[in-house]
Amino acid sequence: MMLHKRLIWLLLLVMTLAGCDFRPMTETGNMSYVRVYLDEDLLNVTTGFYNPDFNHPEYRRPDIMRVALFDSSTGEMVSERYLRGQGDDERGHYYFGYILAEPGTYDLLAYNFGTEATVLREEYDYKGITAFTNEISPSMRSRLLSRADDGDLSTKAGESIRYDADHLFVARAEGLKVKYHQGLDTLRNTGGEAWFRASSVVKSYYLQIGLTGAQYLSSSSVLLTGMGREVRLSSGNYTDGGEATLFFETNKGKFSEYGTDHDCIYGTFGTFGRLPDADNQLTVSVEMVTTYGTRLEETIPIREEFLRENAILHQWIIIDKTINIPTPPTPEPGGGGLNPTVGDYTDVNSDIEI
């Protein structure tokens, strides 16, 4: 009886295996090779420094690129792949891999992973995919002296204070035609070349302001108004998301000019760009904490600074103004606080009962 059951199970197993038809998940003829180069000439990050001796953002090459194909008629994503292979040649550093691309007409987007401040939404819609940065926390906002409710520059309704952006490399191409092919094919850009180039949708600006009393400065940060809040990857243009105020940390530096030493506050920030028709006057608000515990702020109008040659050619914002950190206040005689003293020693004799 036991042998009979085993024979039945063996027969069923053979019939099941005979009925299976193992097929690959993708046909080889629908796979296409794709290569994406990076434009790594980033002003104030990898090149073009105003002061090479100062700290500047550390450039970290992306580990992975995502490439996606979207239906040209609907904008819906139909295929995606993560490119992990990397190489170098006379055109620069590139990422490569293979993507499923059936015959059709597509729009292509490729962009890097691993950004810290720059985030994306609507990644499956060609027209909708958008890059932006998050707003600072309410607790951090509450500590901004220039945005205090009783300040001269009270926070206007709807002001969106956000972190500055880190670089997002984007390659785009529209109307790519993939024909039926056998074996592996290669995706080509609109010029017919077998590669794509990704450039950053973020610009890095260097900002510098003169400083006196630098020995009394403990830390500083900047609020910069009039910046674009977000950008569409498919066009590289602003959305109608409105205006953002950027928040970023700054450093204290010393430099020599015409034989004289000078102190300054400086920093590099990433932005999607200045809004050409921003409603408010462009301003820089410098938030400072002194070594003696006082919080200070100074706001400077910079409407014309982005129009100067330094800003247009080099992305340098060199503000011709000096901020003064006052000396610590002198404690008043007889003021509050402990003032311990020690008098003369005297002999005290007493009996101790045991």
- Rounded Cα–Cα distance for residues 322 and 293 (Å): 21
Four-point Cα dihedral 180, 182, 186, 188, nearest 10: -20
Q: The pTM is what?
A: 0.83
What integer pLDDT is reported at residue 278 of this predicted model?
Answer: 63
pLDDT digits (tens, 9 = 90+) for 304-341: 899 899 999 999 999 999 999 999 988 766 655 555 55
Which residues lie across from 66 on neighbouring strands? 82, 111
Give the integer Cα–Cα distance in Å for 290 and 217: 5
Identify the CA nearest to 192 among candidates 212, 211, 173: 173
- The pLDDT confidence band at residue 1, using thresholds 50, 70 and 90, is very low
pLDDT tens by residue, 237-294: 877 678 999 999 999 999 888 778 999 999 999 999 988 776 557 899 999 999 999 9
DSSP state of 280: S
